[in-house]
Amino acid sequence: MMNLAVGEIFHRISQLTQITNSSKIQNRSSSIDLIKWLAISTMLIDHIHYIWPSLTGLFVPGRISYPLFCLIIAANINRSAQVDAFCIQSIRYFVWLVAFSLLSEPAYRVYFTKPLSLNVLPSLTIGFVIARMALQKKLMGIGVSIVAICLAYWFDGPLMYGVCGTLLPAAFLIAIRNSTVFWLMPAALSAWINRGDYLFTNITGLQLYPLLVLGTSFIVALFGLWLLRQPIQFRVWPVGRWAYFFYPGHLLILSAVRSIARTL
């Protein structure tokens, strides 16, 4: 009898696991996974440029990654809009971002020996908090969002892309939830955060390189929002939590490649 009872328990657990996995598969968005692959690929392309600085052209596609990462955050927030901001899913998302913000910093400083900012994850973390809490439309949520914006403003220098970069997930969330005219908001912000003093100066002379950088930054936001709405008919390999490990991992691997390249 006891063996039958134990067998029944394992059978029920197996059924529950199958239902949960099936629900995850059904709720998974191939569009978001495709955007994730584009973001990861262009980030890798951008970082390869720092091994071989002569490949300056790689800097242009590298401007694609950060706006797409912000779009991914906004899309995930939008999908859980009916869920409380303090639910286990949101807290877990936040904890993973904070944990890998800390874990990635040593690898980031190994690869970029004289970094001008922190790694990208603190900016994405604050951006997630701003967008997620503002969506609550409650006094506490709005208050937390304002505190996060003030924190980003205070640490504008160390943060990659500054305070404006932390506002990009919220801008994408507004664009997702409204008409296409709002798409111009994240597009303009994407171009703004990718500007540089030298780019801003040279663009007045209509030089090709700064026009490509700013144009790519602007267009990728529009393209990402368009892609998010497309029904993807082919299978896209899911991008799971391994992507968190990819960030510090690929920096360490590229550091090793650079060391080897210098000895050749």
16, part of any domain: no
Does the structure show a pLDDT above 50 at 119? yes
1, part of any domain: no
24, part of any domain: no
For 4-46, what is each residue's pLDDT tens digit? 444 454 344 344 334 333 334 345 688 999 999 999 999 999 9
10, part of any domain: no
The domain total for the chain is 1
15, part of any domain: no
Model confidence, pTM: 0.85
35, part of any domain: yes
20, part of any domain: no
List of residues 6+ apart from 36 with CB closer than 8 A: 68, 72, 239, 243
Cα gap 165→156, rounded to integer Å: 9
Does the structure show a pLDDT above 50 at 140? yes
Structural domain including 136 reads 30-40+63-263
Does the structure show a pLDDT above 70 at 52? yes
- Helices (H), ranges, 80-180: 88-111, 121-134, 139-154, 162-166, 168-177
236, part of any domain: yes
In this prediction, residue 127 carries a pLDDT of 97
In this prediction, residue 171 carries a pLDDT of 97
